[in-house]
Amino acid sequence: MKVNPTTYPVSWYRDRNLEKTLVLRPPYQRKPVWTHNQKAYLIDTILKGYLIPEIYIHRVTDSKGQSIYNVVDGQQRIRSILDFTGGEFSLVEEYNPEYTDYTFQDLPESVQKDFWGYIMQVREITDASEDEVRNLFKRMNRNVVALNPQELRHATYSGDFIKLMEDIAEYEFWSENKIVRPNEIRRMNDVQFVSDLFISMMHGIQDKTKEMDKYYEDYEEKGFPEKTKWHRLFQNILDTITAIFPDVRETRWRNKSDFYTLFMVLNEILKECYIPNNNYKKINRDLMRFSNQINESTKKESKVERFSKDILAYTNAVTKSTTDKDRRITRHKIILSIVSKYIRKA
């Protein structure tokens, strides 16, 4: 692997992007996470002629001399520049009062010209395999950029298992039902939550993400031959949740800890049993009554003696250390006892 210092002007990135030879998000890169203010601050830095951190690019050239440029480090910076020159966002008063709310097209022509000519420091990588580049990216981000655990997994693994987790995380179900928030999606915490559900579905209730990396490593090494089978069960559980709670986003069951519990209860049930269609509304009714009592029990003025042992135990298990295995098991047993009266043997 060779790493050579060089420079490119801003216009070079625009040109490579237009000819579709610039790959902003290779497989190991994380999702875009920058906010409007962060993008505007970068643009202001360029407009004022200050230095920005260097970019790492992996150039791959084929036998015909055609090159592809994979952005190893600097995706957020380059994407912000391209978005700004494309009119996707404007400057903010906090950083550049002279051009408040200006898009690139609103800037004076002389300023636009200087912007296109701004020189960016680059480390160009050649003669490197994808594994070598992945390892470089992982090492750089461990020491420089605070990647969270799931972003590191994204940078490390590329097999069928992680691809399925990321595909499932793209389902509109999660955002439509307010189970994940936009900032969680940007940092791939939605993928981590899906992974937690999926691994628990296959291997039983887990303790936080303690064993998650172990499972990722195993499926990367051994493959994931039963992908279709488990994916089908996962989808069946989501469909059943939707059948019980068509408006789950309006209930406490959209909260991750409660959703995890409901998901795992249905997982246990659907492996050997089924729920008759006419029982969905009954389960909805009982779980809503239960959740209303949970909500009441958390109020400061509520008296403990008003509530059953199950209500108090669930409340305790859902208000602190919610992803600990023991607390998950406590919640699981209580909700299973409510739902199990409405199931039938397959």
Q: How far apart are CA 193 and CA 173, in angstroms?
A: 13
Does the pLDDT of residue 203 top 80, yes or no?
Answer: yes
Interacting residues of 269 by C-beta distance below 8 A, sequence separation 6+: 275, 336, 339, 340, 343
Confidence of residue 31 (pLDDT cuts 50, 70, 90): low
Q: How far apart are CA 328 and CA 297, in angstroms?
A: 19
**pTM for the full predicted model:** 0.63
Q: Give the residue from 244, 198, 254 showing the smallest Cα distance to 339.
A: 244
Helix or strand holding residue 56 (H, E): strand 55-61
Percent of the chain with pLDDT strictly greater than 90: 68
Residues 58-110: pLDDT tens digits?
999 999 999 999 998 888 899 999 999 999 999 988 888 899 999 999 999 99
Alpha helices in the chain (DSSP H): 10-18, 36-47, 75-85, 109-117, 130-143, 149-156, 160-169, 172-176, 182-186, 189-203, 212-222, 227-244, 256-270, 280-297, 309-319, 325-339
Give the count of alpha carbons within 13 A of 42, CB side only: 23
Answer whether residue 144 shows pLDDT above 60: no
Bridge pairing between strands 55-61 and 119-126? parallel
Query: pLDDT tens-digit profile of 219-260?
Result: 988 999 999 999 999 999 999 999 999 999 999 999 999 999
Distance of alpha carbon 63 from alpha carbon 66, whole angstroms: 7
Q: Length of the chain, please?
A: 346
pLDDT of 32:
66
- Rounded Cα gap, residues 265 and 272, in angstroms: 12
Domain ranges of the chain: 2-146, 156-345
Task: State the DSSP H helix or E strand holding residue 73, giving kind and residue range, or none if neither.
Answer: strand 67-73
Decide if pLDDT at 145 tops 60.
no
Strand partners, 3: 125
- Reported confidence tier of residue 143, pLDDT bands at 50, 70, 90: low
**How big is the chain by its Cα radius of gyration, in Å?**
25
